[in-house]
Amino acid sequence: MFRHLVLGTDDIERARIFYDATFAAMGIAPAQADAKGRLLYRNGGGLFIVGHPIDGQPASHANGGTVGFLAPSPEAVKAWHAAGLAHGGQACEGEPENRISPATGRGIWVAYLRDPDGNKLCAAWDEPQ
């Protein structure tokens, strides 16, 4: 359903350090910058972009919004969370945990962080069917 997702930042280098570290924990390559200086992360046909807002205004986070990333394993969820905390992220919604998905009824491992710009992120691994 999703082709790409874009989040704003006021500090590209701070964002690069955070996202390169958290994505490396899930086996995703470091960012490549485009001609506009935005950070591009590619994985499984999807594109995640971090850059200065196009309208020139300061970046802000979405109240009530969460960006969820699919992790390859429960260990990757935990490593993503630890890497985020070590690279400027803030804990939110508790520690990584195993819970039952209300959507599927299956077990999932989830972890939440706020990136250095305040965007709420989640890494999740779904138990196979």
Q: Using one digit for the tens of pLDDT, what is the confidence trace for 13-58?
A: 999 999 999 999 999 999 999 999 999 999 988 999 999 999 999 9
Task: Please name which of 126, 67, 66 lies closest in space to residue 100, comparing C-alpha atoms.
Answer: 126
Q: Using one digit for the tens of pLDDT, what is the confidence trace for 58-74?
A: 999 888 889 999 999 99
Q: Is the C-alpha dihedral spanning 11, 17, 22, 27 positive or negative?
A: positive
The class level of CATH for 4-51+66-126 reads: alpha beta
